[in-house]
Amino acid sequence: MTFLPIVDRELRAAARRHSTYSQRVSIALLAIVLGLFIYAANRLGAKIILAQRTFQGLSALAILYCLAAGRRFTADCLSEEKRQGTLGLLFLTSLKGYDVVLGKLAATSLNGFYCLVAIFPVLAIPLLMGGVSNSEFWRMVILLLDTILLSLAIGVLASAISRESKRAMGANFSLLLLVTALLPACGGSIAYFSPGHTMVHWLFYSCPGYAFYWALDTNYPWRKWHFWLSILIIHAITWALVALASWLARTSWQDTPSGSLKRRWRDRFEFLIYGKGEVRRRYRTKLLDVNAFYWLTSRVRLKPVILWFALACIAGWWVFVSLQLGFYWADEFVGLAAFIMLNVLFKSWIAIESGQQLAEDQRSGALELLLSTPLTAGSIIHGQLLALKRLFLVPLVLAILTQGVLVYFAAHHSAKLDDRVRAFGATSIAMLLLDIAAVIGVGISNSLTAKSPTHAALFTVLKVLMLPWVAFAGIAVLVNIWTFARGGESPSWQFFLALWFLLGLATDLYFGIPGWWRTRMRFRELALQRLEHARKEPPQ
């Protein structure tokens, strides 16, 4: 008998996929570009400091990649099998729960693990520059491997307890916060509010960021046991989550009648999300009179509340920094951070919402039923735009007005930087509106052909939002290297601001216009593309 047969089968299947090899090359090239960017940004410092900052910057970005790996690779691996009805068939054989869980874990996370391994040679380059020891490098490698295993385990557990893709993604995010952020947040609160600023170190052991701090040579010799205890705790949590997922996988696929307690909690949850019976009927009638797809997309009434809560968190951070750190409320650096958080929030959230309902309907087959009704493609697009308007219009207008007020007062507060503040503020607002227009068109277009809502949102973010930043970083690195080699001065801030705006504008035009054209002119063709491919495939 083969040990872990599903692992063997899935690894053989993954070895035949082209993406298994192309993704690791792409990630390695991206790590090289980011490393060069960090190097160019700090090239005027001492060689040792330059090596340390390059190593720490790449390591921090790698940890963020590891934390996001669970959502990207494993959060929907078992729940997808449940929706297709194939998970129960596996348990008709002699397979155990750990066979299935480890098999899906190996299959879905192989690309993510290889991409992480491709980063390690780039991470080792600062060793040749000095300032980074061999032991520090290997501690960081251990931490990165531990972190990606934890993230993948959280993703597979979220998938084991969920059936729908949306709930699996939400459960993954909640579990990630619960494991890595809840106890550290309690520890940070104790350290901040206690009279003696007491540090309860064991509350931070489950957080990879805490282990990252103690992995550095500047901190490791003083409290080395904190690093190793954190590594052991994270590793123990990982295997506990895998064991729990293996135990739940055997029964979570079964359709069992709900008990009275479970039914009551489910009803309360539905009341919270959709409203009570009479309220729900009035709300449905109101939206159906406008557009049927508008109602279908806007049934969850709590979405605007969640968005306002996120904006309130940014406002709370702004007030906290201004009061506790003694900054002027319209300080240019605080305003810059607020600009970035607001823009990232709106762009990424709109990228997710613009095609989520369409992608879910496409995968479940509901979109084919919608297209067989008198509802036209133009009505569906109009309903999606109305749903986005309902969710984002008022908060977006408020955010733009807030940015304008911040720019006005920050320019008067800092007379030396007034031109920079005004130029960056105007460019940031213009780029926000252009990116949103492109994101909506590309998001709707991608949702018609993507495998899942996650893939649709990811492709939209990569094309419209990430690509110009990667291009900007690469060009900035080349410009800095060129000027440094020639002994000249770096270009002015006007050059970099114009470069950022032109790259963003070119990206929006290149992807946004074709995205809107496909959405308007080829909606039905793209929506039925999957059926055409399935019809042309020969029978097995």
- Give residue 83's pLDDT: 73
Place of tokens 């046991």: 225
Cα gap 124→134, rounded to integer Å = 9
Place of tokens 């690469």: 474
DSSP collapsed to 3 states, 252-317: HCCCCCCCHHHHHHHHHHHHHHHCCHHHHHHHHHHHHCCCHHHHHHCCCCCHHHHHHHHHHHHHHH
Going from N- to C-terminal start, the domains of the chain cover: 1-253, 313-540
Query: Which tokens sit at 272?
Result: 């919270």
Helix, strand, coil content of the chain in percent (nearest 5): 80, 0, 20
Which positions of the chain have pLDDT values less than 50? 1, 537-540
Percentage of the chain surpassing pLDDT 70? 81
Query: Which tokens sit at 137?
Result: 């490098």
- Give residue 538's pLDDT: 46
Which amino acid, one-letter code, is at 189? S
- For residue 4, is it left (φ>0), alpha (ψ between -120 and 50) or beta? left
Which of 426, 423, 414, 438 is CA-nearest to residue 514?
Answer: 438
Residue 83, C-beta contacts closer than 8 angstroms, at least 6 positions apart = 163, 164, 165
Place of tokens 């050059």: 495
- Give residue 440's pLDDT: 94
- Give residue 409's pLDDT: 77
59-74 pLDDT, tens digit per residue, is 888 898 888 888 778 8
- Give residue 51's pLDDT: 81
- Cβ of 124: how many Cβ atoms within 10 Å? 16
198-254 pLDDT, tens digit per residue, is 777 788 888 888 888 888 888 888 888 888 999 999 999 999 988 888 888 776 655
Cα-Cα end-to-end distance for the chain: 28
Q: Report the C-alpha dihedral over residues 486, 487, 491, 496, rounded to 10 degrees.
A: 70
pTM of the predicted model as reported, rounded to 2 decimal places: 0.70
Cα gap 242→221, rounded to integer Å = 33
